[in-house]
């Protein structure tokens, strides 16, 4: 029974309390949410070509990275393209093509080696192994590899027999593949269909009986049905929940900030002020723009803060208020100007410039906290179809970073100016963005990272990038 | 609404007013809040949902029904369960034997069908009239015919249907089930264990022949989850909306492995001693004593693979450090944010913000501190913690008074009215052990004195409340006639204004 009275110190950047001496007890770097994975996890895709494996791999990776779980995709097709000179035809994939088989297996092994390196040297937590993995033999190789190295495995199998979905898939992502550069459309489709046939011959789906000790999810026909077997831990549970909420129905997501507010005008951050006259004009303009878009069944979401609600009121349609969409809490710096923050808390101001993503305001939040807070919003955005989100600068940056796969370093500096609507359209493996400025002037609230981020810098150096205000 | 073309052209946005209790901005006209579609939280579903359990006896249907109901109510979705077996017990006063359930017992079949219909009637009452959002129809529902009746009933009334089927062939699980919940059933008062088991097994047999599980092909248009072998495997089909998605996620995270959850607050803090709320102070001398006693207590409990969770506030972390077990910090476990009242004493709050203080006493669950949070916000914030607690096994959660009240309310199925007044004194560990359909609670005071931080619901002073309302609403520029109305309400008709 130890007599320890450990002293705690508060890490100045994230405001996390940690023991002064290195304590064996507090193992992890502080963050808003406990990190739940102990051993690295390999997610292994299974399925015939054109079943959405790469789509799922990329989307899942994007989601996991956004919530703070370092994840990387290993697309074996990419390794194959790097290994072979150029793709000639489906004949490469014929099951009796010995030469090609050797190359393909070597590519898979190379990818597995890189997975290992990712976990060991790059502190990765999840690796998504994106390939067809349609034979028992191939899956065995992967399972042995994982067992040797102490990695958990979770299979994601996508099954689809709807010819329309497959055709659409081929159109969206195969025609533009490097394999078919310079090919006529019909030729490409014909070749690809023959490629699928090559795999069908040897395809063995995950079996409910034989594979009952494996952890996996089977997705049928783009999500109308799921079979989930032996979820082992927290991260697999989150992955399953995410996969069950995403869909491929075409839709639009509109992101915008509230109209210019009274506090925006005077360069003050946070608070709960109302719209300025120009902000009100924006609210009307937004209504006009939305009506012109003729969107089917549009949902409108706001935060609980007056300025977003006033903006939504201008639309004349029902809206839902989410507390989770509230602006980042600046704690003791609420309603201050940057000049005042520099004046009262120069050290805090510098720390923020050093690591804007992890920096937590005293008695406030960090961007990292914001992401955790916004996760249910993202989950519901995935479930929904056409949505307009009226929110705030930091919040919009976080949401945008999710859709555009921006890193934690880039996120806090994404440009989200007032009176500008971003229209996001999911397309192929990513998101198309259109930026629409509604032609009503507003102050600029974007503060770039200054050159000098040292704690002992001069005030002028700190305030160099502060945008103009009254 | 199909397109926004039909919408009236809003000339200028409506005035907003902030509801004094919940601090929610709402449109108003002439200073009065307007009836408005804007909701304060995510829309779970547009129409009521009927959850229908399916499965042979002793497959955990009632366990799932009760747990799911408890969870949905806690997150704010009004839910009620309707156990057809209960209706049957009320109809047939005394249970004689399994013979009642024989498929050739015409009399029995008639009664059972009647009970199901009565229960469905009550479901209709709850969902359509009493504004419930989810009803859980707990019965075997093992035939396609019965399920068809229910589906038609739901269609007629505009309810969505979601089936939850539990399939299990593991004899050990079934036996344990019978021991845990059937032995104590009203059906088997005055029976010994062997008699119960024997009769119940015969009862199960009565259902087996006519059991038609949900079929992948025949039932492909239904929305359902099939739970196999107590959660080893799930088949999920056609999830329609948000609430069904949440239900599936919840069902996939719960388990029945025996375990204990320990809840306690941090040791007494310096602020506690001074009577200040919130803040981020360290432990007092007695608080440190408590931390040491907590370590001893935990050691004596000899818990397998104990996980320890704290908030990110100094006082819980200091407490965990003394327990000498690795711990995880959750920001979600931080104490309720008292906004402008942070670090004040109750007397100071009364002095500076008397109307806020009164509003809080009127509806402590929904009351939000200015620039702070409400208990209702806290529950939303804690939902991922509860979800992870369901996944885990032995856990010790070192948290704070308001947070502990929310967690406790979840485990003990306390209402929103009771929640903010649950007693969670310092230096006391609550050990929760799931048993049968609920939770056993043991309260262990670790014998280190501490201040009392519990503030009871004050006696309701109606005269003072009327003055408070008048003051509050006139200060938000409500019309005189409205406040006149309030003041002249006869005492008998007085109802606190609910937003």
**Helices vs. strands in chain B: H and E counts, helices first:** 16, 15
Whole-number Å distance between alpha carbons of B315 and B119: 50
Are A25 and B321 in contact (CB < 8 Å)?
Answer: yes
Residue A84 to chain B, least CA–CA distance (Å): 41
pLDDT band at B251 (very low <50, low <70, confident <90, very high): very high
Collapsed DSSP state (helix, strand, coil) of residue A208:
coil
B242 annotated among ligand-binding-site residues: no
- Give, in order, the Cα–Cα distances in Å from A345 to each of A262, A264, A338, A352: 24, 21, 10, 11
User: B152 with B161: CB under 8 angstroms?
Assistant: no
Query: Is B332 in contact with A5 (Cβ distance < 8 A)?
Result: no
DSSP per residue, A370-404: HHHHHHHHHHHHHH-SSEEEEE-HHHHHHHHHHHH
| C-alpha distances in Å from residue A236, one per residue of A245, B6, B229, B238, B454 | 14, 45, 19, 21, 40
- A13 interface with B at CB cutoff 8 Å: no
Q: What is the mean pLDDT of residues A52-63?
A: 96
CB A244 within 8 A of CB B248: yes
- Shortest CA distance to B338 belongs to which of B276, B260, B284, B423? B276
Chain B residues inside the 8 Å CB shell of A8: 282, 314, 317-318, 321
> What CA–CA distance (Å, rounded) separates B241 from B67?
20
Chain B residues with beta carbon closer than 8 angstroms to that of A320: 38-39, 41-43
Contact check, Cβ <8 Å, B317/A8: yes
A29 touches chain B (CB under 8 A): no
Instruction: Write out chain A residues lying below 8 Å of B332, CB-based.
Output: 32-33, 372
pLDDT value of residue B35: 57
Mean pLDDT for all residues in chain A: 93
pLDDT digits (tens, 9 = 90+) for B70-79: 999 999 999 9
Centre a 10 Å sphere on the Cβ of residue A319 and count the other Cβ atoms it contains: 23
3-class secondary structure, A295: coil
CB contact under 8 A, B331 and A372: yes
What is the radius of gyration, based on Cα positions, of chain B? 26
DSSP-derived secondary structure for B13-80: PPEEEE-TTT--EEEEETTEEPP---BSS----SS-EEEEEE--TTSSHHHHHHHHHHHHHHTT--EE
Residue partners of B40: CB distance under 8 A and separation at least 6: A304, A321, B22, B24
**pLDDT, tens digit, for every residue of B354-392?**
999 999 999 999 999 999 999 999 999 999 999 999 999
The least confident of A197-211, A440-454, B48-62, B446-460 is B446-460
Confidence of residue B417 (pLDDT cuts 50, 70, 90): very high
Lowest mean per-residue pLDDT among B14-18, B212-216, B469-473, B495-499: B495-499
- Whether the pLDDT of residue A369 is over 70: the answer is yes
C-alpha distances in angstroms, B235 versus A248, B141, B229? 21, 18, 12
Q: Enter the pTM of the model.
A: 0.91
Give the pair of three-digit tokens for residue B464: 């003072």
Q: How far apart are CA A432 and CA A452, in angstroms?
A: 35
Is A297 within 8 Å of B2 when comparing Cβ atoms? Answer: yes
CB contact under 8 A, A8 and B282: yes
Structure-block tokens of residue B327:
């711990």
Per-residue pLDDT, A33 = 60
Residue B33: per-residue pLDDT: 66
pLDDT confidence band for B31 (50 / 70 / 90): low
Residue of B nearest to A223 (CA): B238
pLDDT of residue B482: 38
pLDDT tens, B99-138? Answer: 999 999 999 999 999 999 999 999 999 999 999 999 999 9
User: Among the listed ranges A64-73, A207-216, B94-103, B303-312, which one has the minimum average pLDDT value?
Assistant: B94-103
Tens of pLDDT, residues A211-254:
999 999 999 999 999 999 999 999 999 999 999 999 999 999 99
Nearest residue on chain B to A368, alpha-carbon basis: B331
Report residue B413 as tokens.
């199925």
Q: What is the pLDDT of residues A314-368, one digit of tens each?
A: 898 999 999 999 999 999 999 999 999 999 999 999 999 999 999 999 999 999 9
Q: What percent of chain A has pLDDT over 70?
A: 95
β-strand pairing of A152-159 with A41-46: parallel
pLDDT reported for residue B93: 84
Considering only CB atoms, B312 lies closest to which of A17, A240, A245, namely A17
Chain B: residue whose CA lies nearest to A290: B4
- How does strand B224-228 pair with strand B134-138? unpaired
Q: How many CA atoms lie within 13 A of A29 on its CB side?
A: 5
Q: Is residue B479 predicted with pLDDT exceeding 50? A: no
Contact A313 B40 (CB under 8 A): no
Show which residues of B are catalytic: 266, 335
For the cut 70, the answer to whether the pLDDT of residue B468 exceeds it is: no
Minimum CA–CA partner of A291 in chain B: B4
- Which member of A14, A327, A365, A375 is catalytic? A327
What would you report as the CA-atom Rg of chain A, rounded to the nearest whole angstrom? 25
Q: Which bin fits B275, alpha (ψ -120 to 50), beta or left (φ > 0)?
A: left
| Euclidean distance between CA atoms B60 and A254, whole angstroms | 44
């Amino acid at each position: 029974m130890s007599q320890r009275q450990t002293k705690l110190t508060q890490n100045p950047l994230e405001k996390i309390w940690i023991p002064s001496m290195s304590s064996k007890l507090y193992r992890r770097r502080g963050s808003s949410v406990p990190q739940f994975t102990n051993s690295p996890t390999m997610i292994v895709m299974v399925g015939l070509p054109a079943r959405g494996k790469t789509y799922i791999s990329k989307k899942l990776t994007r989601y996991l990275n956004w919530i703070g779980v370092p994840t990387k995709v290993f697309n074996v097709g990419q390794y194959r393209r790097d290994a072979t000179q150029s793709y000639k035809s489906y004949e490469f994939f014929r099951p009796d093509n010995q030469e090609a088989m050797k190359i393909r297996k070597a590519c898979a092994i190379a990818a597995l080696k890189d997975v290992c390196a990712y976990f060991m040297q790059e502190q990765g937590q999840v690796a998504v192994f994106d390939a067809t993995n349609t034979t028992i033999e191939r899956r065995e190789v992967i399972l042995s590899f994982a067992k040797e190295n102490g990695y958990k495995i979770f299979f994601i199998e996508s099954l689809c027999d709807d010819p329309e979905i497959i055709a659409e898939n081929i159109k969206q992502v195969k025609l533009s593949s490097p394999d078919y550069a310079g090919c006529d459309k019909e030729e490409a489709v014909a070749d690809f269909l023959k490629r699928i046939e090559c795999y069908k011959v040897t395809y063995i789906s995950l079996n409910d009986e034989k594979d009952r000790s494996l952890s996996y999810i089977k997705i049928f026909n783009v999500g109308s049905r799921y079979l989930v077997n032996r979820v082992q831990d927290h991260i697999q549970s989150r992955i399953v929940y995410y996969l069950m909420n995403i869909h491929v129905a075409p839709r639009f997501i509109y992101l915008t900030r509230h109209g210019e507010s009274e506090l925006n005008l005077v360069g003050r951050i946070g608070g709960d002020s109302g719209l300025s006259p120009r902000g009100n004009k924006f609210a009307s303009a937004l209504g006009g723009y939305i009506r012109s878009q003729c969107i089917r069944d549009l949902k409108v979401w706001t935060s609980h803060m007056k300025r977003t609600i006033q903006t939504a009121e201008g639309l004349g349609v029902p809206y839902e208020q989410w507390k989770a969409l509230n602006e980042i809490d600046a704690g003791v710096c609420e309603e201050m100007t940057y000049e005042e923050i520099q004046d009262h808390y120069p050290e805090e101001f510098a720390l923020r410039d050093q690591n804007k993503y992890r920096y937590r305001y005293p008695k406030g939040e960090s961007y990292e906290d914001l992401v955790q807070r916004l996760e249910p919003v993202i989950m519901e955005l995935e479930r929904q179809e056409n949505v307009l989100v009226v929110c705030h600068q930091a919040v919009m940056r976080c949401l945008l970073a999710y859709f555009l796969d921006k890193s934690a370093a880039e996120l806090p500096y994404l440009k989200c100016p007032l009176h500008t609507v971003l229209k996001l359209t999911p397309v192929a493996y990513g998101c198309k963005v259109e930026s629409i400025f509604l032609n009503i002037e507003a102050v600029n609230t974007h503060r770039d990272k200054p050159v000098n981020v040292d704690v002992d810098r001069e005030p002028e150096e700190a305030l160099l990038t502060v945008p103009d205000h009254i | 609404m199909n397109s926004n073309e039909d919408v009236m052209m809003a000339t200028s946005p409506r005035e907003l007013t902030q509801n004094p209790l919940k601090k929610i901005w709402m449109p108003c006209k002439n200073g009065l809040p307007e009836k408005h579609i804007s909701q304060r939280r995510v829309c779970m579903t547009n129409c009521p949902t009927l959850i229908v359990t399916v499965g042979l006896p002793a497959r955990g249907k009632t366990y799932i029904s009760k747990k799911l109901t408890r969870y949905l109510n806690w997150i704010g979705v009004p839910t009620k369960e309707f156990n057809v077996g209960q209706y049957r017990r009320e109809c047939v006063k005394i249970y004689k034997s399994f013979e009642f359930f024989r498929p050739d017992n015409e009399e029995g079949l008639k009664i059972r069908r009647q009970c199901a219909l009565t229960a469905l009637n009550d479901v209709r009452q709850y969902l359509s009239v009493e504004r419930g959002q989810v009803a859980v129809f707990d019965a075997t529902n093992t035939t396609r015919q019965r399920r068809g009746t229910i589906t038609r009933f739901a269609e007629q009334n505009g309810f969505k249907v979601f089936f939850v089927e539990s399939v299990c062939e593991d004899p050990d699980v079934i036996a344990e089930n019978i021991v845990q919940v059937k032995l104590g059933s009203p059906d088997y008062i005055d029976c010994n264990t062997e008699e119960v088991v024997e009769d119940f097994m015969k009862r199960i047999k009565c259902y087996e022949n006519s059991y038609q599980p949900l079929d992948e092909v025949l039932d492909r248009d239904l929305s359902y989850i099939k739970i196999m072998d107590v959660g080893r495997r799930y088949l999920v089909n056609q999830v329609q909306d948000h609430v069904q998605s949440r239900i599936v996620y919840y069902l996939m995270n719960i388990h029945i492995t025996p375990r204990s959850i320990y809840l306690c607050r941090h040791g007494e803090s310096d602020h506690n001693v001074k009577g200040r709320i919130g803040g981020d102070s360290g432990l007092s001398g007695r608080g440190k004593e408590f931390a040491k006693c907590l370590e001893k207590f935990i050691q004596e409990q000899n818990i397998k693979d104990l996980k320890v969770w704290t908030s990110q506030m100094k006082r819980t972390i200091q407490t965990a450090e003394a327990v000498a077990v690795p711990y995880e910090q959750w920001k979600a476990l931080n104490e309720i944010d008292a906004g402008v009242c942070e670090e004040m004493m109750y007397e100071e709050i009364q002095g500076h913000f008397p109307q806020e203080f009164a509003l809080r006493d009127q509806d402590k669950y929904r009351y939000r501190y200015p620039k702070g949070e409400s208990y209702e916000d806290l529950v939303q914030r804690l939902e991922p913690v509860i979800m992870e607690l369901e996944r885990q096994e032995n856990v010790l959660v070192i948290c704070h008074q308001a947070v502990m009240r929310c967690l406790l309310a979840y485990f003990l199925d306390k209402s929103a009215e009771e929640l903010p007044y649950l007693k969670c004194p310092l230096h006391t560990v609550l050990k929760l052990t799931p048993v049968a359909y609920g939770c056993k609670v043991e309260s262990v005071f670790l014998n280190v004195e501490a201040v009392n931080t519990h503030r009871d619901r004050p006696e309701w002073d109606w005269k003072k409340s009327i003055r408070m309302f008048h003051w509050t609403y006139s200060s938000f520029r409500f019309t005189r006639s409205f406040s006149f109305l309030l003041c002249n309400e006869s005492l008998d008709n007085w109802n606190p204004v609910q937003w």
